Amino acid sequence: MCNLLSSKEVLSFLIGFAISTLLVININNNYSIKNIQLEPVKNYENIMKKNMVNSFYKNSNESYESELADRLFNDIRVLCWVFTHPSNHKIKVPHVKKTWGHRCNKLLFMSIEKDPTNPDIIPILVPEGRSHLWNKTRLVMKYVYDNHFNDADWFMRADDDNFILMENLRYTLAQYNPETSLYIGHRFSVDYPQVREGYMAGGGHIFSKKALKKFVTIISPNTTLCDNNDGEADDLLVGQCLKKYAIFIDARDSKNQKQIFPVGVEEHLQHRAADFSYWYWTNLWRNVTQGGLDCCSDVYIGAHYVSPKEMYLLKYLVYNVHPFGLKKNITESLPRKLSLDEIIKASDAKSFSPNFRIHENVHNIDEDEKYTLNTA
């Protein structure tokens, strides 16, 4: 998002999704909830006392009717682990915490060194350099599983230059069951035989509780299922390891619009033809609209390559700006729960990428991952 402040169109978009984010966090009293197991509203105070959940919206300078956002914070628990580096401990980590990271149910920063001035940073002792990212990723996932598995239902891997709207992430995750092995993010397709399922772009992807457990206990220790050789392309290798043990979900809304942006929102807002000499466009799993606000979801989740200065701009536009006299004509409601068959069908749909090759889809779904919806 390098040219964010210089583009009127990008600024217009950000104001647009700032308004639309109220779909999740600016609650009115007429919302309806279908096919999701949440506590009744009348028990809300007891839930909050029992789980010691504090509202970010009522205990800060932000002013919201936040009952639904608070309930989702409690019921859709997300642990965020953020990859960082010693050179970024002071120039990026504090800004992640102040802008979006504190909205995670649990926030961990993973680096290759300890930092005596910041106990929130957890050292993962691997050699320095991008060529060791794969070992770092595997060790981090094992650390999270061993120490925090019961602290959350969903586990998000991010970088210290991501900006995530946690309310919209929880809204999207409400469609899914964390006890089914799911791998969610911006899906790419590459012409490698070992990664026919594709992979989720670095800088923001989500594992269900079951997917994390399978990765750590079954897949990663088995060299026939997962490459244990160290390397740079950690995001691609995660996709390779999970291809037969998780259902892959390209993060899109009900209008088929993108929710996660690995190369920045402005790449899509600009009115120009897609450049198919650029790897991003040839590797997209599904086509996206190019130019204008139709490119991008109202229920935006996150972007990559965001500077600390831009993080504060995004936070301001999303959580503070309100165009006077305008009100969304929307009744707040959560998305309906998707059936397992629907999720698998969407995951198995053919890619539009020229790199896509027909292959057999294998998910290895255990009996305890299957579920039926209560439609009563």
DSSP 204-246: -EEEEHHHHHHIIIIITT-TTTS--S--S-HHHHHHHHHTTTS
Which domains are seen in the chain, by residue range?
4-28+65-369 (3.90.550)
| pLDDT of the residue at 87 | 94
289-347 pLDDT, tens digit per residue, is 777 677 788 899 999 999 999 999 999 999 999 888 887 766 678 889 999 999 999 99
| pLDDT of the residue at 56 | 59
CA atoms of 31 and 88, how far apart (whole Å) = 42
Which regions in the chain score pLDDT beneath 50? 1-13, 15-54, 376
| pLDDT of the residue at 46 | 39
| pLDDT of the residue at 29 | 35
CA atoms of 259 and 250, how far apart (whole Å) = 9
Residue bearing tokens 């086509």: 287
Give the type of residue at 260: I
pTM for this prediction: 0.83
Instruction: Give the tokens for residue 324.
Output: 């006077």
| pLDDT of the residue at 62 | 59
Q: Where are the alpha helices (DSSP H) in the chain?
A: 8-20, 22-25, 44-51, 67-75, 93-99, 133-148, 166-173, 209-214, 234-242, 266-269, 279-283, 308-319, 340-348
| pLDDT of the residue at 330 | 65
